[in-house]
Structure 1
Amino acid sequence: MQLGLIGLGKMGGNMAERLRRGGHEVVGYDRAPGKRDVDSLEALIGALSAPRVVWVMVPAGEPTRATVKELAGLLEPGDVIVDGGNSRYTDDQVHDVMCREKGIGYVDAGVSGGVWGLENGYALMVGGTKDDVAKVQPVFDALKPPSPTDEAGQAVPGAGFVHAGPVGAGHFSKMVHNGIEYALMQAYGEGYELLAAVDLIEDVPGVVKSWTQGTVIRSWLLDLLVRALDEDPALERIRGYAEDSGEGRWTVEQAIENSVPMPTIAASLFARFSSRQDDSPTMKAVAALRNQFGGHAVRGIQAEEVERPA
C-alpha cells in the first residue's frame, strides 16, 4: 500500500521505516530538508495515487490543525486523512466535519509505542467510519505488534489494535491510556523513593529488578525503570522535573465532566506540577521513565536537556 506521511521525527521516522520493512511504499514530508522525500505538501499529494491516504504525525494543537486544513484543500473526494498524533478528541470532530464537506475521510489514531515501536510495533486505537478505517487497515496491520498466541497456538484477536468507535474515539482512548500511564509511573516513582530513603535497603536497583519476574506489578514500564537505573543507579544525572503533555489534564477534565472518580490519575497529574518546584526522587524516576519509553527530553542536573537517540 502507498502512504503519505507528514512528520518524520522520533516516532514518525520509525513508523515510516517499519512500514517500508513491511513492504509498503511511504512518501515522507518533513520541514527538515534532510529527512523528507518531497519538498512540499503539494508534491506529496502529487506523488500519491488516488485514492490517497495521508498520515499526519506532527505535534498536537495548532501544527496539526494547520496541516489538516491545508491537506483538506489539496486532497480529493475519496482520499483519507489520518491524524496519528496526540490531538484532543474534540479537534478530531471539528476536522471530520471540515473534511466530510469535501468528501474526504478522516480517521484519528491514538498511537502508543514510543521510540521502541520500530522493533516492537505500535498499539493503535482508532476512530472513524468502517469504510475509512478499512482503507487504512493494511497500514495499521503493519504498524501493530505481532498478535500473541493462546495455549493452542491461535492468534489472540484484538491485541494491539482496536477500532474504538466513530471519529474521536481513537484519541479519547489514547487520552485515557496516557492518564493511566501517568498514575503507573507515579506509583513506581514513589516506590523507588521510599526504597532509596531508608538505610535498610542496600541495593535499590536490585530490588526493582527483582520485581520484573513473577510479581503482579511487573510491566514494560518497570523494565524501563530497571534500564534507567542500570544507566544511572541513583538517578543523579536527572532533575526531578516532569512535563505533562496534555493528555493527563484532558483525562481529569473528562472525569470531572462525566462525574467519574479518578483520584489516582488526578494526583499523579498534580505531582507533576509539584515536580517543577522540588527536585523530588519520585519525579526523577518519572522523568527517567518518560525518557526511556518515549525519548522525551529530561533536564540534567546542570539544567541542560538530555534526549535518548531515536
Structure 2
Amino acid sequence: MQLGMIGLGRMGANMAQRLHRAGIHVQGFDPAAQAREQVSAAGIATSDTLQDLVHAIPAPRRLWLMVPSTVVDATLGALLPLLSNGDVVIDGGNSWYKQSQARAARCGERGVAFVDCGTSGGIWGREEGYCLMVGGDVGTVAGLAPLFRALAPAMDRGWAHVGPVGAGHFCKMVHNGIEYGMMQAYAEGFALMEKKAEFELDLAQVTELWRHGSVVRSWLLDLGADALRDNPTLAGIAPYVEDSGEARWAVAEAIDLEVPAPVITLSLQERLRSRQRNSFTDRMLATMRRQFGGHAIRKTDA
C-alpha cells in the first residue's frame, strides 16, 4: 500500500515514520522545505509540490491530511482538482466534526471519498502507537485497515471504525474534553499537596506512588510523574495554558444536546483564566468587596 502524507509537522512526520517502518510506502509533502528535509533524512520520499505528490501516488490514491484544522479547507481546495474518482482523503487532524461532514460532501461531488480520523497519541505515538477513531463509509474504511493497523499500538486494538463520516472527529472532540477534565483534577490535587507546607511532601514520590495500584493511575499521571521528577517545583514554567479548540466544541455540543458537562466546561474556563495576567474579573471582585463591606484592597503599579 502507498500513502501520500500531507503535513510533515511533528505529528505528521512521526506518523509517516511509523508507517514507513511497517513497510508502507509513504510519499510526504509539506510547504516548508525544512520539514521535507527532516523526513527525507529518515528515509521517507518527499515531493516539493502538492501536484508532484499526487502524481507520485498511483490511483486510486490514499492521501492523509495532517495539517491544522484552520488550513484543511484551503488544502482541500488545492488538492481536489488534482484527484480522480475513487481517490480517498483522510483528515487525521483535530477538525470539528460538522466541518468534516461538509468536507465529505464536497469531496463526494468529485467522486472522492472522505474519512475523518480522530488521532490521539501525541509525540509518543511514533513508538507507542496511536489511538484512532475513524469515521466514514464501511467499504472505504475497510480498504484503509492496513494503515490503521500499522499506526495503532497493535493490529487488533487502538483503532476502530466508530461510525459514518463525522463520528471519528466527534469522538475525538469528546475524548479531548474528558482529557481537559482529568488534567484539571490532577493539577488541582498537586496544587493542594504543594501548598501543605507542614508535610513537606515530595510530589514526585507521591505521583510515582499513585502510578501503581491506585484507581487514579493513568498515562497522564505517568507523564506528570516524569515532569515532576525532572523539575519538582516546575521552575521556569509560565502559568499559561493553551487549548486546541476541541473542548470549546465539546462544551457547545453539550449545550446543544442539553447534556450537563460541568467538569469539561470548568476545565476549559480554567485554561482561559490562566491567560489573564491582570484579571479585570478579579479586580472587579476586589472593588465590590470594598464597596459593600469596606474590605481593604491591594494596590498595584500597573
| TM-score, with length taken from structure 1 | 0.84
Which residue of the other structure, out of 47, 68, 72, is the alignment partner of 1:59? 68
Q: Within the alignment, does 1:41 sit opposite 2:41 as a pair?
A: no
Q: State the SS of the aligned residue for 1:34.
A: helix
Unaligned 5+ runs, structure 1 = 148-156, 280-310
- Structure 1 residue runs of 4 or more that deviate by more than 3 Å after TM superposition: none
CA deviation vs aligned residue, 1:141-195 (integer Å, no higher than 9, x gap):
1000026xxxxxxxxx5x3111111111000000000000000000000000000
Larger Rg: 2
Higher mean C-alpha displacement, 204-213 vs 21-30? 204-213
Q: Which residue of 2 aligns with 1:22?
A: 22
Q: Within the alignment, does 1:193 sit opposite 2:191 as a pair?
A: yes
Query: Which one has the bigger helix percentage?
Result: 2
- How far off is 1:69 after superposition? 2.1
Select the structure with the greater relative contact order (CA < 8 A; seq sep ≥ 6). Answer: 1
Where does 1:62-81 land on structure 2 (aligned, <5 Å)? 63-81=71-89
| TM-score, with length taken from structure 2 | 0.87
Count of residues in Structure 1 that have an aligned counterpart in Structure 2: 268
Q: Which residue of 1 aligns with 2:9?
A: 9
Q: Which amino acid aligns with 1:84?
A: G
- How far off is 1:278 after superposition? 5.5
* Cα 1:65/1:174, change in 2 over 3 Å: same
Q: 2: CA distance between counterparts of 1:27 and 1:4?
A: 5
Measured on the aligned residues, the alpha-carbon RMSD in Å equals: 1.2
Q: What is the identity percentage for the equivalent residue pairs of Structure 1 and Structure 2?
A: 52
- How far off is 1:72 after superposition? 1.4
Q: Does the aligned pair in 2 maintain the 1:93–1:167 contact within 8 Å? A: yes
Q: State the SS of the aligned residue for 2:170.
A: helix
- How far off is 1:34 after superposition? 3.1
Q: 2: CA distance between counterparts of 1:192 and 1:125?
A: 31
- How far off is 1:11 after superposition? 0.6
Q: 2: CA distance between counterparts of 1:180 and 1:254?
A: 14
Where does 1:244-263 land on structure 2 (aligned, <5 Å)? 244-263=243-262
Q: 2: CA distance between counterparts of 1:83 and 1:121?
A: 18
Where does 1:1-310 land on structure 2 (aligned, <5 Å)? 1-36=1-36, 37-61=46-70, 63-146=71-154, 159-202=157-200, 203-277=202-276
- How far off is 1:12 after superposition? 0.4
- How far off is 1:273 after superposition? 1.0
- How far off is 1:32 after superposition? 1.4
* Cα 1:278/1:205, change in 2 over 3 Å: farther
CA deviation vs aligned residue, 1:111-130 (integer Å, no higher than 9, x gap):
00000000000000010001
Q: State the SS of the aligned residue for 2:211.
A: coil
Q: 1: CA distance between counterparts of 2:230 and 2:199?
A: 19
CA deviation vs aligned residue, 1:24-64 (integer Å, no higher than 9, x gap):
00000011113331111100000000110000000012x11
Q: 1: CA distance between counterparts of 2:163 and 2:258?
A: 22
Unaligned 5+ runs, structure 2 = 37-45, 279-302
Q: 1: CA distance between counterparts of 2:79 and 2:138?
A: 22
Q: 2: CA distance between counterparts of 1:110 and 1:201?
A: 43
